[in-house]
Amino acid sequence: MFPSTSPEAGRESWPAEPHAGPAAAATRAPRTGPATTDGDRRERGGPRRARRTGEPARKSEDEVDEPEEEVVPPVEVHRQLALTIAGFAALLGVGLVLGAQTSGPGHRLPFAFIVFGVQLLFVLAWTMAMRPPALLVVAGISAGVAALADVAAVRSDIAGLAPLGYLAVGGFVAAVLGQLVRRVDRVRVTDSLGATLLIVVGVVAFGTLIVLSRIPAGTQAITVCLTASGVALTVARLTDAVLPWPRLAPQVPRGAAGVVAGAMVGTLTSALLGSYLVAPFTPTRAAVIGLVAAVTAVLADLAVGYAEAGRLMAGEPPTMWVARHMQGPLGGFALAAPAAYAMCMLFL
């Protein structure tokens, strides 16, 4: 029988050239063309990606498209609102200055009642604007601390700030404990510690005016510092109503011109008052303490505007309209009061 396949099918064909040995490798003709190394060789097994005409192989790092910054439109400045706030700051300053003139040895109660009324306005405005947990508890404790601070400032044997400091610490601790009572408020206590501290310390700061009225030349220092602060706040807001430029931030309806003009006019006013007051006041000393009080009040008012803009950008709902706009001047006078006490101790 014959096999099913040919005997030549499984046999290897003879190579056309002899087996490549050492001698054959030596006699092989060299290749023509540029020499390549192993590192320069490219793999040609996969498909190539078609390159568009005129398109570079790879974009450089400088050519990478960067996202454009979002342009935030500036907040509109309401002239009528700025004028209203300026009027409120002027009335508040006049009330405190005239109240200080009624103070005398053995007659501290009239000024204490005026200060207590301003403290209640401060508690109302700041609690409604910042809305800490357990709002009614914080407001009630702050009002009680304000009353106790005024009593301590009037009836203490030595005119000093130690009783007010103890009351501020005790009031802050009581307000925090009041927020920890309910579970709903307990979650937000950590985030609201700063707001609670500002409210309690702010009402106590007004009590330093009563302590200052018991010090020699303290009533005159109150007149100079609070007049400078009131003029600075009023001029700053009036300037914002006319020329809110240059804008300090798009989200804050305030201008740098108002801040600078308010501080300068307030300092000038204090220097003029110093030329009419008796010793130890001089125009130079009055200008220095007036400058500190005016700058402190204006910057506190500006900081309140930034805080309100931050709350709105964070998505929090806007607070009561009246409280929101009373917050700035009240905060300015609250910070100017201890500044006046410190400058009186240092320069007078």
Q: Spell out the domain ranges in the chain.
A: 79-347
| pLDDT for 241 | 94
pTM (two decimals): 0.79
Cα separation, 182 vs 13, whole angstroms: 97
Between 43-57, 79-93, 197-211, 324-338, the lowest mean confidence (pLDDT) is in: 43-57
How far apart, in Å, do the first and last CA atoms of the chain sit?
A: 137
Q: What angle do CA 204, 323, 265 make, to 5 degrees?
A: 75
Q: DSSP alpha helices (H): ranges in the chain?
A: 22-27, 79-101, 109-130, 135-155, 162-179, 183-186, 193-213, 218-242, 256-276, 283-313, 321-347
pLDDT tens profile 116-165? 999 999 999 999 998 888 899 999 999 999 999 999 999 998 889 999 99
Task: Please list the residues that pair with 14 across neighbouring strands.
Answer: none
DSSP per position, 75-86: PPPPHHHHHHHH
Cα separation, 242 vs 82, whole angstroms: 9
Cα separation, 150 vs 145, whole angstroms: 9
- 95 CB neighbour count, 10 Å cutoff: 16
Enter the DSSP assignment of 13. Answer: P
Q: What residue type is assigned to position 46 of the chain? A: G
- 139 CB neighbour count, 10 Å cutoff: 19
Two tokens, residue 275: 């030329």
Between 57 and 313, whose confidence is greater? 313
Question: Backbone phi, then psi, for 107, in 5-degree steps?
Answer: -135, 60
Highest mean pLDDT among 30-39, 61-70, 103-112: 103-112
The percent of residues in the chain predicted with pLDDT above 90, rounded, is 57
Q: Is the pLDDT of residue 100 over 60?
A: yes
Cα separation, 33 vs 13, whole angstroms: 33
User: What's the whole-number average pLDDT of the chain?
Assistant: 83
Highest mean pLDDT among 11-25, 82-96, 239-253: 82-96
